[in-house]
Each structure stands twice: as structure tokens, then as C-alpha cells.
Amino acid sequence: MLFPQRDESRALSRFPIALLTLVAANVFVFLLELRLGDPFVLRYSMKPAEIVQGVHLETLFTSMFLHANIFHILGNMVYLWVFGDELEANYLGSIRFVLFYFVCGLAAGALQIAVNPISTVPNLGASGAIAGVLGAFLVEFPHDRILVAILVPFWIAHTRISAGVLIGIWFALQLIGGVGSIAATTGGVAYFAHIGGFIAGVVLIKLFGVGRRTTGEDDVRQQRG
């Protein structure tokens, strides 16, 4: 397993306050889950069949803040922080970043619904929106060097991988998992939400970045030189 730790290619031009707020909101909702239990999770998670029927449409949004367990939220928040801080601070800015994040999350839910519109399996997690962040990062910062932990049983190693390679591996795994999940009738990973969010991120980042320029390029050139 490849576990990203940080982007070592450039300094942030500003503090990513919107990203910190999103992380804090996810943690707060997870603490609510621990206190309120399964009824809370089931009520606010997204079920494709309900959305198709026009019921509980707000869960397209609320489900982005729910997580199945501590490992689920930890993994999501690490990916969000590693790839989101630069996207907010050095390219989109706070307001555009938040809007972009939620649009990608909605696109993720839309594809998951389109693939299996009669499913009553609860869908939850921020990973669809985060997949959009990964897609945008691939477009804007493909050559950044990411410090990665390689996790295998009883062994951990560290290396540096370009963002393009790391995100490419991640997306290939989502495609493989998505094909394998088509006939699934029980819970599991919402691969098509990941795919939908990622595609939205790749397609929409230039639109959301109209009039913006990437900052921190001098830092990258100096490190590469």
C-alpha cells in the first residue's frame, strides 16, 4: 500500500484555511457518529434508490462528511491534506477550492447512482470529493515529488514518487476495483464514486481556475535545478 505523507516540491503561498475547515468538519461529524451510532449514519448516508425516488436528496451532501471507521476517515483526511493544501493555497484560493470540492463530490455521487440506481446500500465518505482533488492535482502539479510510505506486513519503507505516477496508480486501482464491483450487491468500496469524482476534477479544474495562476513555481525550479 502506498501512503502519501507530504508534497516536497514547493512551499505554500498562504495557509489553506478552507482545507483545515473541511478536515475539522469531517472530524466533528465522525465524533457525532461515535456518539449517535448507526441510526445517524443510516439516516444521512446516501442510498442511490432513494435519490432516484427523490427522497432524502440532502444526503448527496451530508454523506460526504460520514465515514465508516477511524481508518476510513484517517486515510481520507491524509489524502485530502497532502493534495488539497497546494491546490487551495497555490492555485484556486479558499472559496473556489470549497466549491470545487463539493462539485466533485456531487459528481462522484451521480456516477455511483448511475451505475446502480436501484441500490439501497448506504454510501458514505469524502473520498469522491477527494478523488476530484487528486484529478485536479494530476492536471496542475503532475511533476511534484510526493514523499510516500510503502506499507506491507511487518515492513515500512519511504520513497519519493512523482504525483503523476502515484495518482495514476491510484486511478488504475479504482478502475480495476470498479469493474469487479459491478455485480456486487453488498457494501464495499464505492469505486465508481471515486472514478466520477476524479474525472470531474480533471475536467473542471481549468474552469474553476480561470483567471488564476499557479504560485510557487520558482520554488520548484530551484529544487529541480
Encode the chain in three state secondary structure: CEEEEEECCCCCCCCCHHHHHHHHHHHHHHHHHHHHCHHHHHHHCECHHHHHCCCCCCHHHHHHHCCCCHHHHHHHHHHHHHHHHHHHHHHHCHHHHHHHHHHHHHHHHHHHHHHCCCCCCCECCCHHHHHHHHHHHHHHCCCCEEEEEEEECCEEEEEEEEHHHHHHHHHHHHHHHHHHHCCCCCCCCCHHHHHHHHHHHHHHHHHHCCCCCCCCHHHHHHHHC
Q: Give the tens place of pLDDT for each residue, 27-84.
A: 999 999 999 999 999 999 999 999 999 999 999 999 999 999 999 999 999 999 999 9
- What does the mean pLDDT of the chain come to? 90
Q: Exposed e or buried b for every residue in 48-82, given b needs 16+ CB within 10 A?
A: bebbeeeebeebbeebbbbbeeeebbebbbbbbbb
Catalytic residue among 63, 67, 119, 194: 194
Q: Look at residue 179 in the predicted model and tell me its pLDDT.
A: 77
Q: Look at residue 194 in the predicted model and tell me its pLDDT.
A: 93
- 107-116, 144-153, 215-224: which range is least confident on average? 215-224
Q: Look at residue 190 in the predicted model and tell me its pLDDT.
A: 81
- 34-38, 50-54, 139-143, 187-191: which range is least confident on average? 187-191
Query: Under a CB-based contact definition with an 8 Å cutoff, are residues 156 and 150 in contact?
Result: yes
The type of residue at 39 is P
Kindly state the percentage of the chain with pLDDT values over 90: 77
Q: Over 70: is that where the pLDDT of 202 sits?
A: yes
Q: pLDDT band at 85, cuts 50/70/90?
A: very high
The residue count for the chain: 225
Q: pLDDT band at 156, cuts 50/70/90?
A: confident
Kindly state the percentage of the chain with pLDDT values over 70: 92
Q: Over 70: is that where the pLDDT of 121 sits?
A: yes
Q: pLDDT band at 223, cuts 50/70/90?
A: very low
Q: Report the distance separating Cα 88 and Cα 10, nearest Å.
A: 13
- Find how far residue 7's CA is from the centre of its chain: 16
Q: Report the distance separating Cα 48 and Cα 153, nearest Å.
A: 36
Residue 9 annotated in active site: no
Q: Over 70: is that where the pLDDT of 221 sits?
A: no
- 63-67, 109-113, 165-169, 217-221: which range is least confident on average? 217-221
Catalytic residue among 56, 72, 127, 143: 127
Q: Which domains does the chain have, with CATH numbers?
A: 2-224 (1.20.1540.10)
Residue 162 annotated in active site: no
Read off the pTM. 0.90
In this structure, the number of other CB atoms found within 10 A of the CB of residue 213 comes to: 8
- Would you call 224 exposed, middle or buried from its count of C-beta atoms within 10 A (0-12, 13-18, 19+)? exposed
Instruction: Say which residue the cell 504525483 belongs to.
Output: 163
Q: Look at residue 38 in the predicted model and tell me its pLDDT.
A: 95
User: Region 138-149: what's the mean pLDDT?
Assistant: 94
